[in-house]
Each structure stands twice: as structure tokens, then as C-alpha cells.
Structure 1
Amino acid sequence: MNDHEAARAERRGLHEARGVVVVERNEAALASWPTGGTDSSSWESAVDEPWFAPGTRGDGPPTAARLDALQGPDWVTRIAREELPEALEHPATRVFLSEVGLPRHWAAGVTSFAVAEKPLLPLSAAIPEAAAETEAAAEAPNADDLLHLGEFEFGHDDGPVFVHRVTGVVYVWREDDAPEPGPYPLFPLSRDVEAFVGFLEGVRRHMGACWDSYPNEPGRGAFLGAMERLDSEALTEGTPAARVWEHVFASITELSVWGY
């Protein structure tokens, strides 16, 4: 056996749902190890401090680098500042759409989101029939103040998504099962596009945590806590926005990696 073959014999690759690890034999560490019998201890039996580094799943608002890493740069839509419509007055939204961007196509479980073919058209131009209903709702924003971002597909119905050109609030057009409080079927979905994209990115980023948590890692709890820190108001229990996000989050909190 040559040196290369000997090195390969002392190195093992292990694969599981959480990734791949290469293990090498350490003669120095084994010098005082018992040579008889079997050691039945396992890292899976650990009940003390977690050995993984908390926070490595990522936390906080989405960044361009994180979105590129999750989606792939070709699947992120960024709109150059000079191409943003003048109607979009909200400064933070302008910066976010040009520097961080939107996932061109995002999917989890039975839910998906796709960027509009022509982003940021006014509601009246993008979906005229929805604009007519919006104008009839007493508390709804002006239809021309809502700019089309894209479309949710919930598995059984669609939900066009808009951003308010002045306030930056994200809205969704969807019939809600419990129409109180209104207005309906248009209602606020998140504080801004940063929170909206953060929720979508968070689902993808925490799939492993929810489906294959490390020992002592509160996978589902870590995910929901991270989402709460992004935009707690959007997750207020009993609101239509919370019901939408509960449906989206169920892709990893209730459904398995197999989708059921």
C-alpha cells in the first residue's frame, strides 16, 4: 500500500441530510483510547450544550449576498435605480429593489411566488378588475398607489402582491376566510419589501433546521423566532396577514421534505 492509498484508508466521508463531513483518523487522539470492547457513546446522545454554532443559519434582514446564495444570482430580479418608476417614492423600497432584489421564482411546499413579468405597474394597469374592486372598498388604498410586485400561488388560488408607492407597505389581493377586520380582499401583508423577502428567504434558509435539526437545535422555534424579529406585526394572531404567512410557513413547519 503506497502513501496515497494509506491516507485514503484513514479518511472516511459521511453523508446525511445535513451535509457531508470528511473524517480522518487521528493517531495522537487515539493513543490513550481503549483498545478493547465497544464504546457505545454517540454525539446523538448529547443533552448538554449544543455543539453547533447558534446563528449560523443566518438571521436579520435579507442581504444581496444571502439572496444570491439561496436563489442563485440568475434567479434574483434587481431593478436598476434609473429604471425604477418615478411613482415609487418610498426611499427604502427603491434601495432594496435595486440592491437586494426579489426572488424571481420562489417555491416551498404547495406555495410559490413569481416576480411580475413587468414589475411595478400600477394596479389599475396590471389587474384592472382588481383595481375596480379596490376603488369600491372604503378603507383600501388608491389603486394607483399600489405597484405590482408579483404573484403568489397558494396551491388552490392566486394572490397578486403589491407595494404601496409612498409607504412601502406590501399588500396582497386575496379572498380571506375570516373577513374581519377589513378591507377585503386587499390587505397589508408585511411592513415593507424587506420583511416580505425576508419571510420568503427565511423559509428556504431554515428548511434544514425544521426538517433535520441538529441535537439541541430548536429548529422550528428558531425559524419562527427569526421571522418574528423580522416583522412581528405581520404575524399578529388572528389577522389575515398572519393566516397567509401561516400557510406559507407550513411548508417547513408542518409539511415534510417530501411535501406532505
Structure 2
Amino acid sequence: MTDDLDDVLADPARLLTADRAALRDRLSHDDRARGVGGEVFLQAEAIFGGAEVTPAEFASWLHFAAKATGHDAYADRIAAAGPGMPWRTVWAWWRPAHWFPVHPSLNGDYFRVRRCVDGPRELVEVTDQRGPLWLDAATGHRATGVDEAALTDAPTATGAAEAPALYDLDLFLPEEWEDAVAFAADGGRTRHLVESVHGIAVVETDADALRDWPRGAGLDPTSAEEPPPGPAPAVRRPTGPLTAARVDDAFGGARHVVRIAESDLPEGLIHAGSRRYLRDVGLPAWWVCHSAQYETHPLDAMRPPAVDALPDESLPDGVAAADLIAFGATEYGELYLHRHDGTVHIRSRLTRRTDEVLVPLAPDLDVFTRALEAVDRYRNACWHPYPVEGGQEDVTELFLAELAELAPDLSDQDTATGRVWSWLYAGITELGADGY
């Protein structure tokens, strides 16, 4: 390819007709894949595959990838450059390949999607183990102030059922798109709701654009079932501090997060960082990953262990039972916060077959919560990896590397800490979405 790579990636009109093989080769040898054009190109192929398609269909792929990655301005330029697209994306609440966000994480049979009405608003309700959330059906933006008790099912617009279904068109699309539901029609345009383990999207078809589009073979999922021949998209995950808003979003909203007013903090808790964390950031009230579960104690149960609950021989050197405050539990043991230094510990027999011992679990509450959040963030990729992500073992390596950045022992099964954590995250690294 003689054209300058940056210029091609920056200009959707040129990208639509560029030599994709040459682009892949160039992107695999430098860091430009992390720019907007390179990221959109690699995500389009990661999601839809490496099949050779017409520029119009490739424009649909690129447009979706741009929407899914939040590059709306670039998506608008793709739409302008490819007016003959067989379908275009209205919005995509989606997990791109090698992205590990808290949302969406739609796994196995553990989620439900429905269209509903809240007063004048039409919403898409998505419910998983953390509870429901709502997306504006017109924009895909998260909706707030929803009166859950007043929601009713949304009707399907007249004429939507008569529009061509996506599966009738000769298109390369992932298999789940066969179940896309047409729900709105206006002026020859039809909107379809797409549900996938990777997310929710609304795409639109236009009768004029489809008038001469081939039919007969129907939707072909084979392209999306194989990794494209080019490089994988860059890894992206949340960065920055663990805030109250981030914890709320990760664990199902403020109603599922425990924050403790200054006056109600456990008696004897001296560590300033722990006091600040419990007051301003918070702990998940409940968390689950298959058989592994965690629950934060009620306030009146956050207290030092009972007499003889932690015999001296079960404690590491330098730690006394009086130094600890019980704050939560898993089925693998009681969790304690060190009231002086803020470290997190678990009383467990996972590291010994008979005797329960106190095992350090995390250097502080921040790392403990981040580790639980990381399990949730990698859950979808571990259970439903894109072909470009490899398999569960490949995603597990990325997950464990992130845990090691938080604290090296968390992912090191040669340590007592790592062995305990391996039981807590085994649901995503060793089991599938169905628990097997």
C-alpha cells in the first residue's frame, strides 16, 4: 500500500476501499492501531471477521465498531462516506474485543432484555444478577429516574414486522444477529434490536439501500467465527481511582453498596485510609461468581472476633485477635480488617486441609474491592471470548496480570494469598457460564 497509513485511517472514504491486508500488515508493525482509525478498523474485523465484503458492507462494520468504541464523530464520517450501507448502527452498548469494562457483561442465560415504556420514554431494560438497568431506546444512553413499578411492555410499531429481517439478507454477521427483532418503522427505515452476549445494539436498515441487496443465501456467521488474520485490538480497561460512582456502577447501584457514616464506623478502627474508604467509597453488599460468594456484614456485626474464635496458633506473627474487625464473609471463611494498618485477611482452611489459619487477602479495602470488580469485568471475555481474544486461558492470563498489578500475591498460587483468591475467581478462569 503506497498511501500513507495515517492518512488512510484518518479518512473513512479511503479506508472503505483500502487494501485491508496491507493495512493489517502495517498496523501489526507499529503502535498506530491505538489511534481512532486503527482502533475502529481492528475492532470491525475482530467483531465481524476477515471476510472480503463490498465497501458498503464494510462501511456497516466500521460504523458499528466506531459506535461501540465511542468514536461517534468518526462514525458520522463513515456514514457520510458510505451512503449505501445495508445497515447502520443507531447505538451500540457493547463490549469491544480486548476491552474489559464493567458493563455490558451479558453471560449465558443470566440476563434478560425487554423493551418497555416509562411515561413518554421508550427504554431497553437489561437485567442480570446485579439487577436491572435501563437504556434509552433512541440513544442507548443510560436512563435514570425510572419508575420501575410503572413500566409497561413497549408495543411494536405498525409495519416493522413486514420489513426485511436481517437474517434474510446476504450479510456477514455474527450468529446471534439472526434473532434481531424489528420493532420500529418509519419512512422506509426499520430499527432492529440486537441482543448478544457481547452487548445490546439498535441497528437500522433502509428500504432504498436494500432494494437491490442480494437475498437467498441469508445471514452468514462464518466470518465472525474465526479470528481475522491481522493484529488484535489494544487492551483497554478502566483506570484511575476507585470512586463511589465506579463502585455503584460495578455492583448494581448504591442500594447494593455499603457505606458507613463517620459516626457509625466500627469501634476501634484506627486506620485512617480504611475509615475514609468505608465512608466515602464503599464495599459491595453482595458479590457472587458461581459458587464463590461474598457478603458484607451488617453494621452491628462489624466487630472484633469473639473470644477464642481466632486462637493464637492460627494467627501470623505480629497479629493479635484484638487487632482485627470482622467485616464480611465468604463460604471459604470470615473476612477481617486490621484496625491499625488496614490490611484485609481471611480465616480459612483452604491453605491447610484441617486447621483454619488467618491468611492475608489484600493490602487494603481498595485492592480487595478492585479484585472483585476485576472478576466481574473479565467474566464476559472469559466465558464468551471473541475469536481474536483466543480462549478462556488467554483471557485468564490478562486477568491474572491485572491482579498482579494490584498486588503480586493475588495471582501467585505459590502463596497462601494467591491460593485463596484462586478459589474466589475460579468461576471465570476454570468454569464456563453454566458453571461447568
TM-score range, shorter-chain basis?
A: 0.7 to 0.9
Q: 1:247 aligns with which of 403, 414, 423?
A: 423
Matching residue of 1:120: 302
Kindly provide the amino acid, as one letter, of the partner of residue 308 in structure 2: E
Q: 1:153 aligns with which of 319, 326, 331?
A: 331
Q: Any residues of structure 2 matched to 1:1-260 within 5 Å, and which?
A: 5-6=185-186, 10-25=190-205, 42-45=223-226, 46-50=228-232, 54-56=235-237, 58-59=238-239, 62-71=242-251, 72-85=253-266, 87-117=268-298, 118-123=300-305, 127-131=306-310, 133-134=311-312, 137=315, 139=317, 141-154=319-332, 159-178=333-352, 185-217=357-389, 219-260=395-436
Q: Which amino acid aligns with 2:268?
A: A
- 1:216 CA displacement: 2.3
Q: Deviations over 1:149-197 (max 9, x none)?
A: 111114xxxx000011111111111124448xxx961121111111111
Q: Residue 205 of structure 1: CA displacement?
A: 2.0
TM-score by length of 2: 0.50
* 3-state DSSP of counterpart to 1:196: helix
Q: Aligned pair in 2 of structure 1 residues 137, 196: CA closer, same or farther (>3 Å)?
A: closer
C-alpha distance in 2 between matches for 1:105 and 1:236: 25
2:326/2:336 contact within 8 Å kept: yes
Relative to structure 1, the CA distance from residue 23 to residue 137 in structure 2 (aligned partners, 3 Å threshold; closer, same or farther) is closer
Distance between the aligned counterparts of 2:385 and 2:268, measured in 1? 45
**Structure ranking higher on relative contact order (CA contacts 8 Å, 6+ apart):** 1
Amino acid at match of 1:13: L
| Corresponding residue SS for 2:185 | helix
- TM-score w.r.t. structure 1 length? 0.79
Pick which of 33-42 and 239-248 moved more: 33-42
Offset of 1:148 from its aligned partner? 0.8
What secondary structure does 1:5 align onto?
strand
Q: Note closer, same or farther for the CA distance 1:50–1:194 as it changes in structure 2 (3 Å cut).
A: same
Distance of 2:216 and 2:315 partners within structure 1: 76
Higher mean C-alpha deviation, range 20-29 or range 59-68:
20-29
Unaligned runs of at least 5 residues, structure 1: none
| Cα separation, partners in 2 of 1:221 and 1:63, compared to 1, 3 Å | farther
Q: How much has 1:134 moved relative to structure 2? A: 3.0
For 1:48-104, what per-residue CA distance to the aligned partner results, in whole angstroms no more than 9, with x for missing partners? 2446x7325x35664322221232211111111222245212121111111111111
SS in 2 for 1:128: coil
C-alpha RMSD over aligned residues: 3.3
Contact 1:169 1:192 in 2 (8 A): yes
Identity of matched residues, %: 31
Cα distance between partner residues in 2 of 1:220 and 1:138: 31
- 1:258 partner amino acid: D
What are structure 2's unaligned runs of at least 5 residues? 1-157, 161-183
